[in-house]
Amino acid sequence: MKAAVAALACASLAACATPGDEAGGDGGPEPAARYAFWRPAPVVDAPDPNKVVQEAPAEAWRRIDPADLLVIDLKEGGRVVVELAPAFAPVHVANIRAFARARWWDGAGIYRVQDNYVAQWGNGDAKTELPPGVVRRPPAEYFRDLAGLEVRPLGFPDSYAPMVGHVDGWPVGYDPEEGRAWLTHCYAYVGVGRDLAPDTGTGGELYAVIGHAPRHLDLNIALIGRVVDGIALLSARPRGTEALGFYKDPAQAIPIARARLAADLTEAERPAFEVLRSDSHAFGQYVTGRANRGGDFFQRPAGGVDICNAAVPVRKATR
């Protein structure tokens, strides 16, 4: 390794193009090793993020529309609830609503659990006749127009996207130059299984992230929402032993009793959730607190947080 300690971080907003060393030699990295960015100073005595969420006023929360909640009841008991994101993948979300209304997933199963990656469920190849209203080849809803979105920038550098932030309680990467925004593959986020390009999947096969954020999938797959309750029912499962974590024996799949939109459940069965509004004062305080952990345990606040380690707070709603 010849190019040790090549670049310098810029501690101020002053423009700093770091010359760095030439990263030569076999083991050296691409010239990418030279980069510079501005970082905020760490905040000492930042607010406790848990306390911020606990004390956030009622108006800082938005209720999730029951038409945007996919409720998956497992045969063994337990419920996984997914918040859908029609603003980002409208055709796929419409498909998912049609699948739920046609009882597509009743009797389906969780057939793939890959460690540090995803748990996936659906019918596999068991059903071929799509329900009415399902679009067989949706457009590639891997991103959407940035125009029209009000983004709250996270305020810290990201390893993947030019910018990251939040839109209406959703984490996004965005590119002001290209005018695009997209959901990020964070823990518990749900995407559409697909085959090779240009297929985008119907939404009939879904996966949830159960490991470190596989952000390389951003812009390559349609994300349709996130698990807001019951993620451990997916993550705390035996890993599949076949390639990509598929279960070897179909009988190992964890059976789904039914999957419905909350809007189609009776009042008594219907769950309700609220999301902390990302345009609220409390949310800003929460992010600052996540980026600068304090209290009796932490010795040194990080002065930064990645988009997936500041999970958007969600809570069960009182009726």
Residues 135-164 that bind a second copy (CB under 8 A): 140, 142, 146, 149-160, 162-163
Neighbours of 132 (CB within 10 A): 7
Question: Is residue 220 close enough to count as binding a second copy by CB under 8 A?
Answer: yes
Question: Is residue 16 close enough to count as binding a second copy by CB under 8 A?
Answer: yes
Q: Would you say 256 and 105 are in contact if contact means Cβ atoms under 8 Å apart? A: yes
Window 190 to 219, contacts with a second copy (CB under 8 A): 196-197, 211-216, 218-219
Question: Is residue 237 close enough to count as binding a second copy by CB under 8 A?
Answer: yes
Q: Would you say 255 and 107 are in contact if contact means Cβ atoms under 8 Å apart? A: yes
Residue 179 neighbours by CB under 8 Å, 6+ apart: 145, 146, 147
Per DSSP, what are the bridge partners of residue 275? 62, 314
Question: Is residue 112 close enough to count as binding a second copy by CB under 8 A?
Answer: no
Q: Rounded to the nearest whole angstrom, what is the least distance from the CB of residue 280 to a second copy in the complex?
A: 6
Q: Which is nearer to a second copy, 104 or 143 (CB)?
A: 143
Q: Which is nearer to a second copy, 79 or 258 (CB)?
A: 79
| Residue selected from 307, 312, 313, 314 as contacting a second copy according to rule CB under 8 A | 307
Q: Would you say 95 and 86 are in contact if contact means Cβ atoms under 8 Å apart? A: no
Q: Would you say 20 and 6 are in contact if contact means Cβ atoms under 8 Å apart? A: yes
CA–CA distance, 137 with 265 (Å, rounded to integer): 29
Question: Is residue 56 close enough to count as binding a second copy by CB under 8 A?
Answer: no
- The residue among 148, 146, 116, 108 whose CA lies nearest residue 255 is 108
Question: Is residue 55 close enough to count as binding a second copy by CB under 8 A?
Answer: no
Q: Which is nearer to a second copy, 126 or 232 (CB)?
A: 232
| Residue selected from 24, 30, 45, 243 as contacting a second copy according to rule CB under 8 A | 30
Q: Would you say 190 and 82 are in contact if contact means Cβ atoms under 8 Å apart? A: yes
Question: Is residue 281 close enough to count as binding a second copy by CB under 8 A?
Answer: yes
Question: Is residue 32 close enough to count as binding a second copy by CB under 8 A?
Answer: yes
User: Would residue 146 be called left, alpha or beta, if left means φ above 0 and alpha means ψ between -120 and 50 degrees?
Assistant: alpha
Question: Is residue 58 close enough to count as binding a second copy by CB under 8 A?
Answer: no
Q: Which is nearer to a second copy, 106 or 158 (CB)?
A: 158
Window 114 to 133, contacts with a second copy (CB under 8 A): 115-116
| Residue selected from 95, 120, 202, 288 as contacting a second copy according to rule CB under 8 A | 288
Q: Which is nearer to a second copy, 26 or 267 (CB)?
A: 26
Please state, in angstroms and as integers, the Cα–Cα distance from residue 222 to each residue in 217, 263, 282, following that order: 9, 23, 30
Window 66 to 95, contacts with a second copy (CB under 8 A): none
